Amino acid sequence: QARLVESGGGTVQTGGSLRLSCKASGFTFRHYCMGWFRQAPGEERRGVAAIGPDGSTFYIDSVQGRFSISRDDAKRTLYLQMNSLKLEDTAVYYCAAEENCVVHAMTDGGFIEEWGQGTQVTVSS
């Protein structure tokens, strides 16, 4: 059974950094596009970044240059390095998997096959 487990969330001050991890099991990780989504209180869940099996990446404009998505196929783990964090980055962050994706379209969220349970990121002033 496929499973995604996020970790690394927490509370950090504005301008700080956090690194999220997502450990995958139960499917052929290296064949899948992987992505990060987030949901702020009272808002819909939205895509943040995605990475293809070939390592190609996509970021939404608001995190471009601050966040970096990466993957380690040997460890079946997805990462999100978040730098220069802002108050508006506060959200529950979810890991997602999609096979046969178009990387820049994955953040639309229309074809996600697996979701993690989420990890809370809180940025304080």
What's the average pLDDT block by block, 10 residues per block, for the chain (125 residues)?
96 98 97 97 96 97 98 98 98 96 89 96 97
The candidate with the shortest Cα–Cα distance to 38, out of 9, 73, 2, 72, is: 9
pLDDT of 118: 97
| Residue 121 burial (C-beta neighbours within 10 Å; 0-12, 13-18, 19+) | buried
> How many whole angstroms separate alpha carbon 80 and alpha carbon 70?
7
pLDDT of 76: 98
pLDDT of 110: 85
| CB of 94 closer than 8 Å to CB of 39 | yes
Which residues, including other chains, have CB under 8 Å from residue 28's CB and lie 6 or more apart?
none
pLDDT of 104: 87
Return the structure tokens found at 123. Answer: 């940025």
Place of tokens 């940025």: 123
pLDDT of 62: 97
